Structure 1
């Protein structure tokens, strides 16, 4: 499946390309060109839905839930093409791994994953000025941050639990919905004057690859900062599982097929970071809103770990330790009183994790307990529905409406769900 033209014009947002070529070779030009590439299958579905209206949405949702075969002999052509790709499991995927779920994630104690993973993932995504510009269009950053926490938590939980990515399962459906929401936002932004010569295509392939890293490498970099490291085998499992997620999200395979561990993921992340401009005011505003929303949600949960101001300070310390001083400064993350204590926390966590994973049986017990821990209440509905429900079926009349509901920053969501239920 082709995503771009070889002679694509490189937008102004791409910086340091000569240095990137020296360090990363031909992959640098590929990443630069893919800033202008979308997702042809999902983009075609959005165009088809705009023609078919409500009935098209019903067909699409039925196909996602019950499979392409449930749609009869002549389903709409774009919907048929997307469903056929989604339902074609690549030969490099082991179905047994989908049965087990994302075992690296499930091996992490849920409180630490909730504290570290979602904040680091979204904040690093916001470090891209192009992504931050698109997401900040609404101007309602606090409301947007809270919704993104909820929706990202629901998607992450559904897509990583055992069996979650089997056809028709909740994680499979929500992953396809995230993909289609990206396509809807892409179409809407282009209709409302998005400057591709400067910023590239909205949520283009390179940005999608960045987001993929922000839900693989970035969370576990933050977790490593508190002593929760993955073994070589766990890293291999992590990237194998998430390669299938990348496939379902429509990400160009050249970005993820060679990523098999943290080292190769860091190489790709280095390429994407060095060709991005420094974080801007939008990045800093989104970061501040996300930290505040995360601290507020966790402080509002039953039996919170600590008060909201201390949670905010802890998040600052974790992000500072995970990202380093230079990026933290650019993102406006202040130094934290908690930072000097984190090495001690890391030591205690590393010792606890050693015993948790000491035998195969103890590791499996921990994963099973994490998988059964409270997660998002699927019966709960956000006001107005999810971003997918609000924006997928018909053209959005203003970019601010789409941006407010915006894409989940493609963590488990129990903390955020418990707050909503309280």
Structure 2
């Protein structure tokens, strides 16, 4: 769909649209009373090459079979080129996810409501952030979307998580229908663009100006993932420029301050403060967020003022990690972003998961709906 067609008349109805295939699979699972059985069956189901667990409910069996095939337009060469960027910029990609993609999503107030109301996200912030980071690595890892990779399987599990959230949260008594359907198509598209558009933009803010061919290949990877996640084809554009226009349109429509968005962003900042080493990084989280998304967007989610004072003063010691002395031409923000990305899968992973990789699970019993 061309960018000019993303009008309010097109996007407003998308706030009432979910995912028919995923929603049918979850609804049947509940109707049969097999929530826990299915959760256990899928618990260790981590690679694309893994055989489907035996005796799944029919709709769930159909869901995995339908969503396991990449779209006809998926280009293996583009996928390989796009995913190879992880090897070059892994630490910056992870930091941009945490300090740009997520805060921008949280600044969309209506979409943030469902995240705040999910016990899984509010009571397990650290695990959720590590799982999201693990998902990016799974998708961009070598062969992540291939027969033996983890990226496609992770996307399938996340799609079921979204369906589970729609099943529960929309039935809760405090859900305001003015927010739209939980995890609706507009919010899904905005979240997808927060990976495919915001990460290349963030890399540029950190001094990595990707060639257009690399940027477009990276965008293609996430377009494929969007298809697996059940994003409507009309909101899953083929080009980076159209994706950027769609994302900016969604931000113009949805950005406003909310308690939910502020609380979710605080969880990210608390996580960064916990995993970054020593007092030298006291102001790193807020400063990185403001550097990557700008003060206006950061103010919406009440990010504290930028303060790299301690970091800058100690740049000759703590911030060297391979970049040279404090007079190095590498931007200070990029240095801190590199350190953050590095510790997410080292110190951060050990801190929150005893050193094991995070596996996306399908929380079939996410939370019991409250009476309306």
Secondary structure (helix, strand or coil) at the match of 1:240 reads: helix
For 2:60, the equivalent position in structure 1 comes to 79
Which of 297, 304, 316 in structure 2 is aligned with 1:327? 297
For 1:336, the equivalent position in structure 2 comes to 306
Which of 266, 283, 297 in structure 1 is aligned with 2:261? 283
TM-superposition CA deviations, 1:223-273 (whole Å, max 9, x none) = 222211211011110111111110111111111233x22x33321112101
1:175-194 to 2 correspondences below 5 Å: 175-193=155-173
For 1:107, the equivalent position in structure 2 comes to 88
Q: Confirm or deny: 8 A CA contact 1:213 1:265 kept in the other structure.
A: yes
Report how far residue 120 of structure 1 moved.
Answer: 1.5
For 2:367, the equivalent position in structure 1 comes to 396
1:10-89 to 2 correspondences below 5 Å: 24-50=4-30, 51=32, 53=34, 54-57=36-39, 76-89=57-70
For 1:348, the equivalent position in structure 2 comes to 330
Q: Confirm or deny: 8 A CA contact 2:46 2:154 kept in the other structure.
A: no
TM-superposition CA deviations, 1:345-399 (whole Å, max 9, x none) = 995269x9xxxxxxxxxxxxxxxxx9xx979989x968xx97954722x463257
Tell me the TM-score normalized by structure 2. 0.77
Q: Confirm or deny: 8 A CA contact 2:289 2:298 kept in the other structure.
A: yes
* Aligned pairs, number: 341
Q: Confirm or deny: 8 A CA contact 1:189 1:202 kept in the other structure.
A: yes
Change (3 A) 1:241 1:69: same
1:134 is aligned to 2:114: yes
Report how far residue 40 of structure 1 moved.
Answer: 0.8
CA distance in 1, matches of 2:266, 2:44: 39
CA distance in 2, matches of 1:188, 1:345: 53
Which of 203, 208, 227 in structure 1 is aligned with 2:207? 227
Change (3 A) 1:283 1:60: closer
Q: Confirm or deny: 8 A CA contact 1:118 1:219 kept in the other structure.
A: no
1:250 is aligned to 2:230: yes
| Alignment gaps of 5+ in structure 2 | 313-325, 335-341
Secondary structure (helix, strand or coil) at the match of 2:71 reads: coil
CA distance in 2, matches of 1:132, 1:237: 29
Secondary structure (helix, strand or coil) at the match of 1:279 reads: coil
Report how far residue 315 of structure 1 moved.
Answer: 2.5
Q: Confirm or deny: 8 A CA contact 2:120 2:366 kept in the other structure.
A: no
CA distance in 1, matches of 2:96, 2:44: 36
CA distance in 1, matches of 2:327, 2:13: 43
1:120-159 to 2 correspondences below 5 Å: 120-137=100-117, 143-159=123-139
CA distance in 2, matches of 1:389, 1:317: 33
CA distance in 1, matches of 2:180, 2:367: 21
CA distance in 1, matches of 2:230, 2:358: 21
Q: Confirm or deny: 8 A CA contact 1:121 1:218 kept in the other structure.
A: yes
TM-superposition CA deviations, 1:189-217 (whole Å, max 9, x none) = 12223545311001111111111111122
Report how far residue 324 of structure 1 moved.
Answer: 1.9
Relative to its length, the structure with more helix (as a share) is 1
Tell me the TM-score normalized by structure 1. 0.69
Report how far residue 275 of structure 1 moved.
Answer: 1.2
Change (3 A) 1:283 1:317: same
Q: Confirm or deny: 8 A CA contact 1:228 1:349 kept in the other structure.
A: no
